[in-house]
Amino acid sequence: MSSNDFAIRVDSLSKRYRIGPQDERHRTLVGTLLRSIAQPAINLRRLRSLTVFGEDEHDAADVIWALNDVSFEVKRGEVVGLVGSNGAGKSTILKILSRITYPTVGRVEINGRVGSLLEVGTGFHPELTGRDNVYLNGTILGMRKAEVDRKFDEIVDFSGVGKFIDTPVKRYSTGMSVRLAFSVAAHLDPEILLVDEVLAVGDAVFQKKCLGKMHDVAKEGRTVLFVSHVMQAVRNLCERTLYIEAGKLASDGPTDTVLRDYLTGGNTRRSEITWHDPGSRPGDESFKLRAVKVMSGYGNPPSLFRTSEPIRVQIEFDLTETVHELGVGFDLFSADGVMLFRSYQYDDEPDQWPKLMLGRNCLECVIPPGILNGGEYVIRICVLQQDVKWILNGTPEIAFEVEFDHSRSPFFFKLRRGVMAPVLKWRTVPYSE
């Protein structure tokens, strides 16, 4: 590849951090006061210690490698997906590419102007208005005021926050912030667009607009590096995908092939996950996931299911405060990344909704027998507060395997063609002339 053919070149990239120590607890008022007085200096030393390492600290117990010897190239005009479980290192890669942080080892070459959307409101100053932040971001990208002027109306119209464009961003809702942030990142003509989980926030209409805009950006010959847990979005947008696992590049190739590796490999080959440590439980301040299990109709978590038996999905969680219109459910994917269906606890009639209590809850959903085909499947947990925010969107995930055995047809002993293999009712009826 010639020097001008690439947009991103990553060579032997590694990044390490030191896990910060817990605060010392003081039992006396005097100790607490002295600690408070010295806090600025203490914090400065602690922050420095997190990124400064001695020669003998390569594998110290409090040192973690977020990335470990990752190398890849992205051509100009290429749209590349980036997938992996939470904590795998995806966001670290994007932060290094955006120059938010620097690698410990290795080098990165960027050939073009970079626009980033890494978190809600990335690059926004909360005290400035939406209008001011649009121009600020344009300046950061190296654009002149006249260039931003030409794009301004289009940015505001796409974001849908025109009524609030002169309001300080700190007063925006999460959805408003991410809509404006994405609109700015996509419209201010970056040659390279880095997008991290933009589909995790916002309603379905906005998500569709985002995907459409990224398609447009790709058609214009600009480069896109797209991180998402929404597998169908990755399939629709990206011909090539990178799979990062435990800080290493596990797979790099055609999207369908890589997604199969991702969905059926590594830590996903578990039909049950339990979080015993309260501090590690996925969720937010109101919702904490305890366990996710896939069980047979007989109540045992087997390694292999049969299509002729019901499959029970259990989601166990804690509610620390009342959340109105809380949806708890999951997406079911085939091994090649095709989403089969989504189900929430409120799918039944309103008078049958399970009542969610403060404290510990356990919800169960039953996939009836005679629905699935043989093969491997992945369940991704989804929890949202309706029209407000996602609490969990596609993570964590568990996997299970199904053996086809429910057909009585003499022509089907293993698999049927198609993603699913339902047993449908047939009967003879009078024909009409």
Kindly report the CATH number that applies to the domain delimited by 269-403.
2.70.50.60
Evaluate whether 8 touches 192 at the Cβ level (below 8 Å). Answer: yes
- State which H helix or E strand residue 96 sits in: helix 90-97
Q: Which pLDDT score, from 0 to 100, does residue 313 have? A: 93
Q: Give pLDDT, residue 268.
A: 45
Closest CA to 210 of 183, 239, 184, 249: 183
Is residue 191 within 8 A of residue 110, CB to CB? The reply is: no
Q: CA–CA distance from 431 to each of 147, 239, 424 (Å)? A: 69, 48, 20
pTM of the model: 0.61
Query: Is residue 111 within 8 Å of residue 256, measured between CB atoms?
Result: no
Residue 266 is classified by DSSP as G
CATH number of 6-15+65-260: 3.40.50.300
Judge contact between 331 and 313, C-beta under 8 A: no
Tell me the C-alpha distance between 196 and 194, whole Å. 7
Please confirm whether the linkage preceding 396 is cis (ω < 30° from 0). yes
* Distance in angstroms (rounded) separating the CA atoms of residues 260 and 241: 11
Q: Which two tokens stand for residue 82?
A: 């980036």
pLDDT of residue 298: 66
Beta bridge partners of 194: 116, 225
At residue 328, the pLDDT reads 92
So where are the chain's domains?
Answer: 6-15+65-260, 269-403
Nearest partner of 48 among 9, 92, 18, judged by Cα: 18
pLDDT at 267: 45
pLDDT of residue 122: 59
pLDDT in tens, 195-246: 887 655 556 677 777 778 878 887 888 898 988 877 777 888 888 999 998 8
Which portions of the chain are predicted below pLDDT 50? 22-26, 47, 266-268
Q: pLDDT tens-digit profile of 138-157?
A: 887 677 888 889 889 988 99
Closest CA to 159 of 136, 133, 140, 139: 133
Count, residues in the chain: 433
- The candidate with the shortest Cα–Cα distance to 131, out of 160, 158, 169, is 169
Strand pairing partners for 130? none
Q: Please provide the DSSP assignment of 204-257 as one string.
A: HHHHHHHHHHHHHHHHTT-EEEEE-S-HHHHHHH-SEEEEEETTEEEEEEEHHH
